[in-house]
C-alpha cells in the first residue's frame, strides 16, 4: 500500500459518527449537536457516501464556511424540488459502458468510481462511490470504441477521480490510449491536488512524462484550498510537464462573491494553473 493510500485510509472521516466527534473536538459539543444530527443525516449519507480527507478538513476554519459547505452532508440534500438525476444527460450519450461521446472529437472516459473527498454538489453522484456503476472491468469496450472512431482526438479521463487509481493502472490506460494513432490529447479531470496532494508522487511524475501531452483539469472552488501542500503538488505536476487548468463551480456560500472569485483566479495563476 502506498503512503498516500495509507493517509487516505487512516486519516479521513467516512462515517457520520466520526464526523460528529470531529466537529465536537474542533468546534465544540454544542456545534456538533446543532449541526450533525446523525439520524436525520443518515438518509443523505445512504444516498451518497461521505469521505473527507485530512487536507479537506484542514481547510474548514468554522462551521458553515466555504469549505464546510462543500463537504458536510445536510438534510437539504433530501429536498428534491425539481431537476433530473442525470442533469447533463451523460447516460443518453453513452454508446458503451464508461464512455460519453457528446462532442465529435472528444469522449469522456470514466475510469474510477471513487474520490478522495466527496463534494456534496457532485453532478455525477448517481454513479460516484458505487463500483458497480463505473465498472473497472469494462475498460475493453471503451478502448475498442475509441479505436473505432478516428474522429476522436481528445480523451477526458474522469470518474470519480482517475488519480485514485494506482500508477500501474493509470500507466496501463495511458499505454492503451497512446497505441491508438488518432488520440492526440489525454486529460485527467481530478480534484486530488486539493483533497490529497500526497498522491502527486515523484513516481507518478516520472511515469507521466512518457505519455505527453497530458493535461490535468484540477478543481479549486475557494482560495483557501490552495494550501502550501496543494501548491507544492501543482508545482511537481508543472515540472513534470503536465499542463494545468482548473474547473471551478460557482457555488452559493462558497465563491458567489466577486472578490473571492478574483482572489481564487489570482492564486491559481500564481500556481501556474490556467483558470
Say what percent of the chain tops pLDDT 90.
Answer: 86
Enumerate residues 6+ apart whose C-beta is below 8 A from 44. 73, 74, 75, 77, 78
Question: Given a cut of 90, is residue 47 above it in pLDDT?
Answer: no
What distance in Å separates the CA atoms of residue 4 and residue 198, rounded to the nearest whole number?
6
In the sheet that 214-218 helps form, which strands lie side by side, from edge to edge? 99-100, 106-110, 154-158, 185-189, 214-218, 243-246
| Spatial contact of 196 and 225, defined as CB atoms under 8 Å apart | no
Q: Is 45 left (phi over 0), alpha (psi -120 to 50) or beta?
A: alpha
* Predicted TM-score (pTM) of this structure: 0.94
Fold designation for 91-270:
TIM Barrel (3.20.20)
- Map out the domains of the chain as residue ranges: 3-78, 91-270
Please give the pLDDT value at position 1.
83
Of all residues in the chain, the percent with pLDDT exceeding 70 is 100
> Comparing 14-18, 81-85, 93-97, which segment has the lowest mean pLDDT?
81-85
What's the Cα-to-Cα distance from 20 to each of 17, 47, 216, 236, rounded to whole Å?
A: 5, 19, 34, 35
* Collapsed DSSP state (helix, strand, coil) of residue 94: coil
Amino acid at each position: 500500500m502506498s503512503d498516500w493510500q495509507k493517509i487516505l485510509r487512516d486519516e479521513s472521516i467516512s462515517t457520520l459518527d466520526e464526523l460528529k466527534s470531529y466537529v465536537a473536538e474542533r468546534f465544540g459539543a454544542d456545534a456538533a449537536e446543532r449541526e450533525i444530527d446523525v439520524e436525520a443525516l443518515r438518509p443523505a449519507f445512504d444516498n451518497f457516501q461521505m469521505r473527507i480527507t485530512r487536507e479537506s478538513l484542514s481547510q474548514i476554519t468554522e462551521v458553515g464556511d466555504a469549505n464546510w459547505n462543500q463537504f458536510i452532508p445536510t438534510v437539504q440534500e433530501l429536498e428534491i424540488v425539481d431537476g433530473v438525476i442525470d442533469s447533463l444527460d451523460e447516460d443518453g450519450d453513452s454508446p458503451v459502458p464508461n464512455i460519453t461521446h457528446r462532442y465529435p472529437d472528444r469522449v469522456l472516459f470514466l475510469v474510477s468510481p471513487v474520490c478522495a473527498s466527496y463534494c456534496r454538489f457532485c453532478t455525477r453522484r448517481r454513479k460516484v462511490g458505487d463500483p458497480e456503476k463505473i465498472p473497472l472491468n469494462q475498460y475493453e469496450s471503451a478502448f475498442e470504441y475509441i479505436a473505432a472512431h478516428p474522429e476522436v482526438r481528445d480523451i477526458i479521463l474522469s470518474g470519480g477521480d482517475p488519480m485514485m487509481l494506482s500508477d500501474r493502472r493509470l500507466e496501463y490506460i495511458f499505454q492503451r490510449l497512446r497505441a491508438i494513432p488518432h488520440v492526440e490529447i489525454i486529460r485527467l479531470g481530478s480534484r486530488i491536488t486539493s483533497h490529497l496532494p500526497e498522491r502527486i508522487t515523484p513516481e507518478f511524475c516520472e511515469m507521466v512524462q512518457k505519455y505527453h501531452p497530458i493535461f490535468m483539469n484540477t478543481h479549486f472552488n475557494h482560495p483557501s484550498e490552495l494550501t502550501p501542500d496543494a501548491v507544492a503538488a501543482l508545482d511537481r505536476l508543472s515540472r513534470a510537464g503536465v499542463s494545468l487548468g482548473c474547473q471551478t463551480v460557482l457555488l452559493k456560500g462558497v465563491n458567489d462573491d466577486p472578490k473571492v472569485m478574483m482572489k481564487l483566479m489570482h492564486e491559481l495563476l500564481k500556481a501556474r494553473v490556467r483558470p
